């Protein structure tokens, strides 16, 4: 079982400008996801890690009301870009790759 303390689910929020009126500077946002308590060799441990990562991404990107289509689009783009920018330690990436 891996025992590293933390890794940064380093997630830089996407710079999505819906319209110039709503444009504001994007500040990079970083969340740290703990995984030392998880057994990543088990499906349950990997599932818990994925849930923790999803929660961190939601914190970074926020939510949108169902009627706010522009915001929903911005949140979807943020989620996609954030997921693409997650930084896993090499040992975790190797563990996850070896179990798929």
1-47 pLDDT, tens digit each: 444 444 443 333 333 333 444 545 556 788 889 999 999 999 999 99
Residue 99 lies in a domain: no
Domain count, the chain: 1
- Tell me what pLDDT residue 99 has: 65
Exposed/middle/buried for residue 48 (C-beta within 10 Å: 0-12, 13-18, 19+):
middle
Distance CA 85, CA 30 (A): 11
pLDDT at 80 over 70: yes
- Tell me what pLDDT residue 25 has: 52
Mean of pLDDT values over 62-76 = 94
Residue 1 lies in a domain: no
Task: Please tell me the pTM assigned to this model.
Answer: 0.67
Boundaries of domain holding 54: 6-94
Residue 100 lies in a domain: no
Distance CA 65, CA 84 (A): 24
Residue 10 lies in a domain: yes
Residue-averaged pLDDT of the chain? 77
CB contact at 8 A, 33 and 56: yes
């Amino acid at each position: 079982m891996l025992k590293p303390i933390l890794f940064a689910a380093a997630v830089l929020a996407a710079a999505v400008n819906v319209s110039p009126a709503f444009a504001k500077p994007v500040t990079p946002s970083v969340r740290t996801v703990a995984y030392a308590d998880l057994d990543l060799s088990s499906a349950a441990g990997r599932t818990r890690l994925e849930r923790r990562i999803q929660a961190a991404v939601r914190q970074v990107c926020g939510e949108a009301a169902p009627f706010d289509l522009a915001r929903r689009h911005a949140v979807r783009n943020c989620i996609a870009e954030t997921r693409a920018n997650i930084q896993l330690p090499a040992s975790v990436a190797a563990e996850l790759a070896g179990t798929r």
